[in-house]
Amino acid sequence: MTNIVLFGKPGAGKGTQAAFLKDKYNLVHISTGDLFRYNISNATKLGKLAQSYIDRGDLVPDEVTIQMLQEEVEKNPEAEGFLFDGFPRTIAQAEALDAFLEGKGMSIRATVALEADDEVLVKRIVERGKVSGRADDQDETKIRNRFVEYNEKTAPLMDYYKKQGKYHSVDGIGTIEEITKRLSDTIDTIKG
């Protein structure tokens, strides 16, 4: 089973690239951000709980996010592998994911990060905000708060996965096709 974490700052291209990689490697794509937005648009209990955090650009509390992720994995018993997008985002989430997968005889094969400079990413998100309808894309203060959250809570995961020998990164600047190629080359090397 090939379980891959697609890692990167807000706007790095995780969702864009996941759309290609899930088909190429026959993986189930799980984006916690997409799941939260689905719940918000359907006004579920989970959506109502998550909305205020997301709208501010803050991370949603770990317990809620971890449980949602686990339920999504459970819904796909036939999966050949998972492509995790936007999860884990804290050390507690990464530890919970490792323990959860281990309980199922699975593990994370690799974490592949898209690297890009903050200023490029802020421009991308501001541009997307004109059409996305995402509250957290709308003003630069919220967008920058997402980077603060990333730096404080998510960046430590690089060392977490490096210590496990699972961290790989690619340049996230270029055309979408060029970046898909870089990611695929990395994944092919890992899969052997």
Side chain identity at residue 112, one-letter code: V
The reply, when asked if residue 98 is annotated as ligand binding, is: no
Piece of the chain touching ligand AP5 by CB under 6 A; list 38-46, 51-59, 94-102, 159-167: 51-59
- Catalytic residue list contains 56: no
> For residue 97, how many other CB atoms are within 10 A of its CB?
22
Which partner from the list ligand AP5, Mg ion, none does 116 bind, CB cut-off 5 to 8 Å by kind?
none
Q: Tokens 């094969």 label which residue?
A: 109
The torsion defined by the Cα of 58, 127, 12 and 136, in degrees rounded to 10, comes to: 10
Which partner from the list ligand AP5, Mg ion, none does 161 bind, CB cut-off 5 to 8 Å by kind?
none
Both tokens assigned to 19: 């759309």
Using alpha carbons, select from 63, 50, 75, 61 the residue that is nearest to residue 135: 50
Residue of 9, 14, 22, 142 marked catalytic:
14
Residue of 9, 22, 124, 146 marked catalytic:
146
Residue 137 and residue 143 in contact, taking contact as beta carbons nearer than 8 Å: yes
The reply, when asked if residue 14 is annotated as ligand binding, is: yes
Taking the C-alpha atoms of residue 79 and residue 81, their distance in angstroms, rounded to an integer, is: 5
Note whether 14 binds ligand AP5 by CB under 6 A. yes
- Catalytic residue list contains 109: no
Q: Going edge to edge, which strands form the sheet with 167-171?
A: 28-31, 82-85, 4-8, 110-115, 167-171
Residue of 89, 124, 142, 182 marked catalytic:
89
The reply, when asked if residue 15 is annotated as ligand binding, is: yes
Q: Please pick, from the candidates 59, 83, 96, 97, the single residue that binds ligand AP5 as defined by CB under 6 A.
A: 59
Taking the C-alpha atoms of residue 10 and residue 32, their distance in angstroms, rounded to an integer, is: 13
Which partner from the list ligand AP5, Mg ion, none does 27 bind, CB cut-off 5 to 8 Å by kind?
none
What residues from 13 to 52 belong to the interface with Mg ion (CB under 5 A)? 14-15
Residues that bind ligand AP5 (CB under 6 A): 8, 10-16, 32-33, 36, 53-54, 57-60, 65, 86-87, 89, 93, 124, 128, 136, 146, 174, 176, 179
* Residues involved in catalysis: 14, 89, 128, 134, 146
- Contacts to Mg ion by CB under 5 A: 14-15
